[in-house]
Structure 1
Amino acid sequence: MASEEGPRHAAITADDRGALLAMTTWFLGCTLVLCVATRLIVRFTTNHLPGIDDVLVVAAAVLAIGSTVAISLAVESGLGRRYFLLKTENIVSIQKEMYAATILYILTVGVSKISITAFLGRLSGTATHKTIIIILGIVILCWTIAITFGVAFACALPHPWETFTGKCISTMPFWIGSTTVDVLTDIIMIVLPIQMVWNLQMELGRKATVVFIFALRLVLIVVSILRVVYLNRFVGNDPTFDSLPYGIVTQCHSALSVIVACTPGMKPFLDHAQSGMLSASLGKHGQGTTFGQDSFNMQAFSKNSAQNSNGSRRRTKTGVALGSQSDTNSMAIEQADSSIGSVYVQDSYGRIIKQRLADIASASSPRPSRASSRSPPRPPPPPDELRPDLSIFTAHVRRKVIGL
């Protein structure tokens, strides 16, 4: 009989479908591990150093694997089998293991979301974006803590894991409220990066790639809603058998949360975003550096600045205007004054001076062919503050002239 004790085999029958949950869970777990490993390899083999977001992704992966192990133990105890075929000790084990798996699921989703906010925090280039990201991170952190405690104490003590047989809070209102906040934060995490990218001076294909990476969270929204739909069967007449779709969708949400959190750290994303979003991290430098806080490497060009350039500035893929000086090969432009058509450049003596764009254009334009026969022009004399002090030699020269 199916109720006899002994090792369970990976067979799907009319009264036992636990193997389906186990296979799905471990497939997602292996995929998750590969994605995290790929992200770490990309980080360590490129110039993009690991950050706090990478640490959080690894932590979320560990929590997801823990949830996978807990669900596997629950399947081994009888999850997916008809309730009337199980013994009392099996039902108690299933409830404990599902209790642990649910807590780990909440922590996995929360930590993976916080890793995305940490990643966006490194990319944000304006104070408004930073403020929104900080508020979003606080909301996600509070949501994670509140839902974790809600699940931990959903049923009466001293047995809070007895979701099948104990006295518990109303399940549907609790998870509907939880899912609502979850979906709203996902929507913000989709809209905010798109808004950050949309005004960048990037090729349309690069923008589409960055937008697609963050739009993958739409899959998580769909899975989160499906989880609530299947929740009604979780505490039905046959909870161990009818809750199988709910368990599969929950494990999908847990694993996909980590997988989607890994995608911004993959090399294809970095190759497309480093010319736009990743340069925003340079905004943390103060004025006086090559890319200061007021630098416009993350700002869209205005029409006035485009008209004042008169073709003398060339734009890179990120929209950075670079002024070149033929005799110094210097590209150390710090700020552009679009109202008067001038930029700050470094002269041959290392000083930062203000120069008109028209002068830069004339200096970088090709010389007439007849000028090649002439000798190169002499450089201008250095200013007085850069001339060497020769006063110590004056007295000696005078003595030698008068014969002393």
Structure 2
Amino acid sequence: MASDSPYRISATDRSGLIVIVETLFMSWMIIVGLIRLYMRIAINGPVQIDDLALFVGSGLGVAHVGTTMDAVNHGLGRPQHENSASSLKRAGEGLYAANLLFLAAHGASKISICLLLKRLGRQDKYLLSSKILLGMVVAWTIASFLAIALSCHPEYLLNQSAMAQKCGNLNLAWKTITAFDVITEVLSFGLSIFLVWGIQMRWKEKATVVFAFGTRMPTIILIILRQAYLNDALYHPDPSLLLSKATIATAVLIHCGLMVSTVPCLKPFVIAFNTGWGQGVTNSYGENSYFTPTGKSGSTNHSRVYTTNTGDANEDDAIEGGRDSQESQHSRQLIIHQTQEWTVQEEYEMQVRNRI
């Protein structure tokens, strides 16, 4: 007995599965985006350019869902013999628009991460590397958009015979796009390691920062899986049904990519990273606590005092108070000096927080 629902889930009809995945992941993506907006407005604002890039990508992701739903309503995810030629043509147009919106939204999420990494660094070599990576991602986004837009006309996407004749370079274009997509993801992860590599901080905090940016790495699996589904579906005798797997993988990839781009901006990760680049800042251990240049936590009441040599940036040995009057006087002098340094460090911390 046929179901009254327009969407079904079976071996020969995956329209319902596409709708469920698209709407479910879109809902999660919107919630994460609203959390990021709230954090920027109420906790650690203002809104920065990397946030704007992500919000644009989120809007494009919602539009992607709309165009995919239109394609599903006209036959995407169902066997080709169940759809008329006019329906397949309309479904191909929806799929064509969905592919372009996917590339734009996915590129926006990658650009957002690159802008965030660029904003957090200060070293000349790091800034140069971040600018190069940002340029690569922007170029990849534009080139990918143009390549898919020009490789195949919308009316041929779900027409197997016409696609083989008119869109012979489509799969090659997707393979090239996928290869550079993976490369830029790996480079962005490597840049996050470069960001904390030279900073004097505890390895635990370094690992936390790298993990925050590394949450994008699982998207590489989705990128490769999506391409594998495309290889099987393109030029297949029944592309409208076979492309359902690639469509589902695309939905998961685009929304997960947008969601994990927010992870480095969540407050726990910002606190763990915000160490003042070796200058010493406050942390969560107490009101008077601070991070020493080595990354070890201490307090203004601690008897061990760290000083920094401006010539070679090495730490002096700690001086214990109370041994004798001369050492005690010398220790008190260092404590006064430490208090003066703390004032400068507190002002520096305020400037760093404004940047993050």
TM above 0.5, yes or no, is: yes
Matched, 1:66 2:36: no
Matched, 1:83 2:80: yes
Q: How does 1:233-312 map to 2 (within 5 A)?
A: 233-275=233-275, 279=276, 297=279
Question: Over residues 152-181 of structure 1, what are the superposed CA-to-partner deviations in whole Å (9 max), with x where a residue is unaligned?
Answer: 1112xxx44422334113232211111111
Deviation at 1:63, TM superposition (A): 0.6
Q: Which residue of 2 aligns with 1:125?
A: 122
CA 1:235–1:87: 2 relative to 1, 3 Å: same
- Which structure is higher in RCO with an 8 Å CA cutoff and minimum separation 6? 2
CA 1:260–1:161: 2 relative to 1, 3 Å: farther
TM-score by length of structure 1 reads 0.69
CA distance in 2, matches of 1:120, 1:363: 40
CA 1:198–1:359: 2 relative to 1, 3 Å: farther
Q: Which residue of 2 aligns with 1:146?
A: 143
Deviation at 1:188, TM superposition (A): 0.7
CA 1:338–1:130: 2 relative to 1, 3 Å: closer
Q: Given that residues 28 and 255 in structure 1 are in contact (C-alpha distance below 8 angstroms), is that contact kept between their aligned partners in structure 2?
A: yes
Deviation at 1:15, TM superposition (A): 2.7
For the pair shown, which has the larger CA radius of gyration, 1 or 2?
1
CA 1:85–1:10: 2 relative to 1, 3 Å: closer
Name segments (4+ residues, structure 1) moved above 3 Å.
317-321, 337-342, 358-362
Q: Given that residues 36 and 265 in structure 2 are in contact (C-alpha distance below 8 angstroms), is that contact kept between their aligned partners in structure 1?
A: yes
Identity of aligned residues (%): 27
- Residue 156 of structure 2: which of 151, 162, 167 is its match? 162
Letter in 1 for 2:243: S
Letter in 2 for 1:316: F
Q: SS of the counterpart of 2:261?
A: helix
Question: Could you say which structure has the higher helix fraction?
Answer: 2
CA 1:8–1:120: 2 relative to 1, 3 Å: same
Q: Which residue of 2 aligns with 1:172?
A: 171
- Residue 17 of structure 1: which of 10, 14, 17 is its match? 14
CA 1:161–1:115: 2 relative to 1, 3 Å: farther
CA 1:95–1:160: 2 relative to 1, 3 Å: closer
Q: How does 1:4-403 map to 2 (within 5 A)?
A: 8-155=5-152, 159-165=153-159, 166=162, 167-232=166-231, 233-275=233-275, 279=276, 297=279, 316-317=291-292, 319=294, 336-338=310-312, 361-364=331-334
CA distance in 1, matches of 2:116, 2:205: 19
Q: Which segment drifts farther, 166-175 or 76-85?
A: 166-175
Deviation at 1:228, TM superposition (A): 1.0
Q: Structure 2: where are the runs of 5+ without partners?
A: 281-288, 302-306, 317-327, 337-356
CA distance in 2, matches of 1:337, 1:359: 25
Q: Given that residues 206 and 272 in structure 1 are in contact (C-alpha distance below 8 angstroms), is that contact kept between their aligned partners in structure 2?
A: yes
- The CA RMSD measured in Å over matched residues stands at 3.3
